Copies of this chain bind each other. A is one copy, B any other.
């Protein structure tokens, strides 16, 4: 590719990025606007491709082959409470504790607008919606993870900070996005015990299915803690674990009075027919058995991917128990230069983190994809590093 064309593409991507706020432009948007660009791997996108395949297999058998797709498109979906009954069946929680969202992001928005009021503490770097979606009268206090601590949360220091700054709400993403830092269940319970007096402790478990505490890779869940802590809200995205971001399916678990308040004047039919179908699958034993294999396969993939990345000279891979890693470019390239090189010369799209508070400069986030794609990503990064030398 000639240099002027390359510059042209870089400029165009910058414009698209500006239109997407603190999120990345989707690959679809990029390909529509810059058709001359060839993207072969979307390593910006955080979801389990094997789970997507599994869901599509079920959908094909249940809905398409049986000619039942029309029911899902034509009729009103079940109301919020009815869908929470499906989730109740899957989780054992009372439906009264479950607020179903049009994606986890709707649950986040509802919580931020309704229950978080005066002063909220957000750990950075983070997913930007957590500070962008607050009400205009809410103060946001940032607690920065330290680079020298490998962006791992020091729970004692954090509790001290929360007490000192007198915030009434805190948000924890576990594992955290964009670095993948993981808080064990024990650490989590320590925080919950120490911060009982807060109005809100919001834990976003969007990536929890990719984390593990033992070699069996058993699924981790904190859902049962809801009955013990009235101020706890757990946000669950189905987009990443189950690879179905396009369906918009998520939920949040919280005290029943809060669910009641949210449903009292809104959120009636906020779940589409397809999302309702997914939530029926969510308690289907056969589907879940197959899902757990897809989940473990993807974790093994990711483990190997992260370990290969760590062996590349010129980058630092921060500890992650999610399906991605925060990577620091030590070779002198900025994160933007590195991202553009990988995209334009290798067709690999990754997340430039330079717009993330606390990660200005040399950080990128790279997602784990399928086994074959991960191999291509590794060789693409190696190529970028060699060219730099």
B72 contacts A246, CB within 8 Å?
A: yes
List CB contacts (< 8 Å) of A29-65 with chain B. Answer: 29, 42, 45, 47, 49, 52, 55-56, 59, 64
Q: Which residue of B lies closest to A56 (CB)?
A: B70
Q: Which of B52, B265, B272 contacts A248 (CB 8 A)?
A: B272
**Which residue among A73, A82, A136, A239 has the maximum number of chain B CB atoms within 10 Å of its CB?**
A73
Question: What are 6 A-B contacts with C-beta separation under 8 Å?
Answer: A56-B73, A77-B245, A102-B106, A103-B269, A105-B270, A135-B265
**Among the listed stretches A126-134, A309-317, A327-335, which one makes contact with chain B, having 4 or more residues with CB under 8 Å of it?**
A126-134
The reply on A220 being an interface residue by CB < 8 A is no
In the complex, the chain B residue whose C-beta lies closest to that of A276 is B246
Q: Verify B270–A102 contact, CB threshold 8 A.
A: yes
B273 engages A246 (CB within 8 Å): yes
Most buried by B among A70, A76, A243, A271: A76
Report the stretch among A19-27, A164-172, A186-194, A337-345 that lies at the interface. Answer: A19-27
Which residues in B have their C-beta under 8 angstroms from that of A267? 109
A246 touches B74 (CB 8 A): yes
Cross-chain contact of A73 among B27, B77, B247 (Cβ < 8 A): B247
Q: Which residue of B lies closest to A67 (CB)?
A: B56
Query: Which residues of A in the span 101-131 have a Cβ within 8 Å of any Cβ on B?
Result: 102-103, 105-106, 109, 112-113, 129
A292 → chain B closest CB, angstroms: 20
Determine if A75 and B105 form an interchain contact, defined as CB atoms under 8 angstroms apart: no
Question: What is the minimal beta-carbon distance from A226 to any residue of chain B, in angstroms?
Answer: 23
- Per the bound structure, the CA–CA distance linking A64 and B64 in Å amounts to 9
Q: Does A99 contact B (CB under 8 A)?
A: no
Question: What are the residues of chain B within 8 A of A76 when measuring CB–CB?
Answer: 26, 45, 239, 245-246
Contact of A268 with B82 at beta-carbon distance under 8 Å, contacts A56-B69, A74-B243, A245-B76 already known: no
Residue contact A129 to B247, C-beta cutoff 8 Å = no
Contact assessment for B248 and A269 in the assembled complex, using a CB-CB cutoff below 8 Å: yes
Which of A42, A71, A102 has the largest count of B CB atoms less than 10 A from its CB?
Answer: A102
A265 to B133, CA, bound (A): 4
Cα-based distance from A239 to B75 in the complex (angstroms): 9
Taking a contact as CB atoms under 8 Å apart, the answer to whether B102 and A74 are in contact is no
With known contacts A132-B265, A134-B265, A272-B247, A74–B47 Cβ distance under 8 A: yes
Q: How far is the CA of A188 from the CA of B147 in the complex (A)?
A: 61
Residue of B nearest to A48 (CB): B74
Known contacts A19-B81, A136-B265; 16 further A-B pairs (Cβ under 8 A): A26-B75, A26-B78, A26-B79, A28-B71, A45-B76, A52-B74, A64-B64, A73-B244, A73-B246, A74-B246, A102-B270, A103-B270, A105-B268, A109-B267, A272-B274, A272-B275
- With A134-B265, A265-B132 as known contacts, state yes or no: A29 contacts B82, CB within 8 Å: yes
A270, B104: Cα distance in complex, Å: 10
Most buried by B among A27, A29, A136, A273: A273
A-B complex: 5 closest residue pairs judged by Cβ atoms: A246-B273, A109-B266, A76-B245, A52-B74, A248-B272
